[in-house]
């Protein structure tokens, strides 16, 4: 079992504010009028089955996709008018977004560090290589690394600019249980010790329960449930978070009548 972290003080200052966010592709509504806030030192899980709208939401927050409607602000700045400034203080990692395979681990970290304007970059790279157990791979091209090793390099890149907003899509996918435990511990420490807000997706409900302060369950582009991952199952008549996830995936209508407004 993961070690229990000391009590974390979540700031009252919202880092990310999402208001009435909507994304439509033709006749398909991918994200349907969702609103939420994410605060400094908080880890928020964005959960739901495949096709629920999680990755689309993340891509709109990153500015990769333009919303059909709604607004997104980070540190009080609207992403439409301040995208460059926001991205300087934001970072992202996902298994489907590997780093250039023809560059070594150290080269990738240096290039991204230069793009972000990281000061004392050499020292920062050494810190991240040690943190993610990548020192032995510093001169190895990323394209020949295992999927788990590539995941760790992607996470090292995500930490390189000490972001105030960190977006993690399946952060421990492809990692063995031991490495996954180490990464969860690093993510928790990062959120607790620095003024960062973390939004993550995961299909690992054990991970979610042990890492997230709060979760949002998406179903067909809408927020269906919201709350503490340790308390939500009992509040909705389920024994475990995994059982609740399965119900959201298979029978979301059975939960709608018990949802209370925030």
Write out the chain's pLDDT in tens, 262 residues. Answer: 454 445 567 767 899 999 999 999 999 999 999 999 999 999 999 999 999 999 999 999 999 999 999 999 999 999 989 999 999 999 999 988 889 999 999 999 999 999 999 999 999 999 999 999 999 999 999 999 999 999 999 999 999 999 999 999 999 988 999 999 999 999 999 898 888 999 999 999 999 999 999 999 999 999 999 999 999 999 999 999 999 999 998 887 667 544 444 4
Q: In whole angstroms, what is the distance from residue 153 CA to residue 148 CA? A: 9
How many angstroms separate the first and last alpha carbons of the chain?
31
For residue 2, the model assigns a pLDDT of 58
Q: In whole angstroms, what is the distance from residue 241 CA to residue 233 CA? A: 5
226 C-beta neighbours (distance < 10 Å), count: 16
pTM over 0.85: yes
For residue 258, the model assigns a pLDDT of 47
Q: In whole angstroms, what is the distance from residue 188 CA to residue 186 CA? A: 5
φ and ψ of 51, to 5 deg: 90, 5
Residues 6+ apart with CB under 8 A from 136: none
Q: Between helices 177-193 and 147-159, what is the axis angle to 10°? A: 10
Residues 6+ apart with CB under 8 A from 28: none
- In whole angstroms, how far apart are CA 49 and each of 55, 71, 166, 220, 245? 11, 24, 22, 9, 8
The β-bridge partners of 90 are 165
- In whole angstroms, how far apart are CA 160 and each of 122, 157, 213? 11, 5, 24
φ and ψ of 83, to 5 deg: -60, -45
The β-bridge partners of 200 are 45, 168
For residue 7, the model assigns a pLDDT of 59
- Residue 167's nearest CA partner among 195, 199, 212 is 199
Question: By the 8 A CB rule, do 47 and 208 touch?
Answer: yes
């Amino acid at each position: 079992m993961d070690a229990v972290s000391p009590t974390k003080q979540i700031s009252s200052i919202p880092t990310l504010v999402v208001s009435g966010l909507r994304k439509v592709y033709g006749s398909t509504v991918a994200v349907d009028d969702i609103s939420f806030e994410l605060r400094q030192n908080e880890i928020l899980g964005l959960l739901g089955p495949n096709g629920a709208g999680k990755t689309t939401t993340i891509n709109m927050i990153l500015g990769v996709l333009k919303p059909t409607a709604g607004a997104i602000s980070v540190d009080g700045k609207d992403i439409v008018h301040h995208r460059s400034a926001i991205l300087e203080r934001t970072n992202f990692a996902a298994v489907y977004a590997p780093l250039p395979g023809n560059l070594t681990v150290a080269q990738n970290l240096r290039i991204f560090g230069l793009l972000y304007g990281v000061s004392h970059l050499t020292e920062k790279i050494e810190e991240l290589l040690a943190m993610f157990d990548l020192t032995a791979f510093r001169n190895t091209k990323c394209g020949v690394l295992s999927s788990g090793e590539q995941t760790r390099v992607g996470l090292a890149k995500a930490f390189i600019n000490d972001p105030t907003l960190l977006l993690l899509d399946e952060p421990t996918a492809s990692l063995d249980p031991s490495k996954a435990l180490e990464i969860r511990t690093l993510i928790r420490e990062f959120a607790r010790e620095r003024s960062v807000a973390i939004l993550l997706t995961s299909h690992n409900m054990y991970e979610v329960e042990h890492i997230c302060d709060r979760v949002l369950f998406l179903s067909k582009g809408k927020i269906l449930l919201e709350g503490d991952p340790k308390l939500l199952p009992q509040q909705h008549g389920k024994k475990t978070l995994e059982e609740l996830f399965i119900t959201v995936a298979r029978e979301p209508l059975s939960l709608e009548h018990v949802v209370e407004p925030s």
